[in-house]
């Protein structure tokens, strides 16, 4: 049992336990904080895989941005000391059946499949390579999706302002 294995199992357990708590917690602010823990453990998994930039983006954008946005809107729209009523048991059983059967199907499919592992030498996953490929128009370049995503973000920003501003 190496330290790497222990770290992996720790992150895995945190992700699954806090995901379950996110969807079952009866206080909305607690659900948001559990979601924050899930996102931070996911960033831990990216660090484990040696994807530092991805982990940094995960921490800054998800854990820092989206969770703050969600907590902000919770404070605007909900009474935080109010507890949700427990959903009806038949609804819970139906949803759990749907989720568990889907999960069983997926597990069955990919545990039977043998993945062909890449044998090529790994590319160095540092900022230089990421920056060069993200803005390159050559083979393996990602300039077009980069520009499209910037237009999408601008459109989403304008849309959010227009929707949320007080009418007339």
Partner 1 sequence: MERYGIPLEGFLVISTAMFFIGIYGFLVRKNLITMLMSIELILNSVNINFVAFNSYLFPENMQGNFFALIVVAIAAAEASVAIALIINIYRRFSSIEVEDIDEMKY
Residues 88-107 within binding reach of partner 1 (CB under 8 A): 91-92, 94-96, 98-100, 102-103, 106-107
Candidates 10, 80, 127, 149; binder of partner 1 (CB under 8 A) is: 149
Least CB distance to partner 1 at residue 164 (A): 4
DSSP 3-state assignment of 113?
A: coil
Reading the block at residue 73, the tokens are: 């809107």
Reading the block at residue 88, the tokens are: 């009806």
With CB under 8 A, what is the number of residues at the site for partner 1?
A: 84
Q: Does residue 15 belong to the site contacting partner 1 (CB under 8 A)?
A: yes
Of the candidates 135, 132, 129, 133, the one whose C-alpha atom is nearest the C-alpha of residue 150 is 135
Q: Return the residues of window 19-58 that contact partner 1 according to CB under 8 A.
A: 19-20, 22-24, 28, 31-32, 35, 38-39, 42, 45-46, 49-51, 53-54, 57-58
Q: Which is nearer to partner 1, 120 or 137 (CB)?
A: 120
Least CB distance to partner 1 at residue 24 (A): 8
Q: Which is nearer to partner 1, 5 or 138 (CB)?
A: 5
Reading the block at residue 83, the tokens are: 């507890």
Q: Does residue 144 belong to the site contacting partner 1 (CB under 8 A)?
A: no
Q: Can you tell me the distance from the alpha carbon of 86 to that of 92, in angstroms, rounded to the nearest whole number? A: 9
Please tell me the number of Cα atoms within 13 Å of 26 on its side-chain side.
6
Q: Does residue 118 belong to the site contacting partner 1 (CB under 8 A)?
A: yes
Enclosing H/E stretch for 147: helix 143-164
Reading the block at residue 38, the tokens are: 């899930």
Q: Can you tell me the distance from the alpha carbon of 136 to that of 147, in angstroms, rounded to the nearest whole number? A: 11
Least CB distance to partner 1 at residue 94 (A): 8
């Amino acid at each position: 049992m190496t330290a790497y294995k222990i770290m992996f199992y720790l992150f895995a357990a945190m992700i699954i336990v806090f995901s379950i708590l996110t969807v079952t917690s009866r206080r909305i602010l607690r659900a948001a904080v559990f979601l924050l823990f899930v996102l931070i453990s996911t960033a831990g998994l990216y660090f484990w895989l040696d994807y530092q930039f991805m982990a940094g983006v995960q921490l800054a954008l998800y854990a820092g941005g989206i969770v703050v946005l969600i907590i902000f809107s919770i404070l605007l729209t909900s009474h935080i000391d109010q507890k949700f009523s427990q959903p009806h048991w038949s609804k819970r059983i139906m949803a759990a059946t749907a989720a568990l059967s889907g999960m069983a199907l997926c597990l069955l499919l990919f545990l039977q499949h043998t993945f062909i592992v890449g044998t090529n030498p790994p590319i160095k996953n540092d900022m230089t390579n990421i920056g060069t490929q993200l803005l390159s128009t050559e083979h393996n370049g990602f300039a077009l999706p980069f520009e499209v995503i910037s237009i999408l973000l601008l459109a989403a920003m304008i849309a959010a302002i227009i929707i949320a501003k007080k009418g007339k």
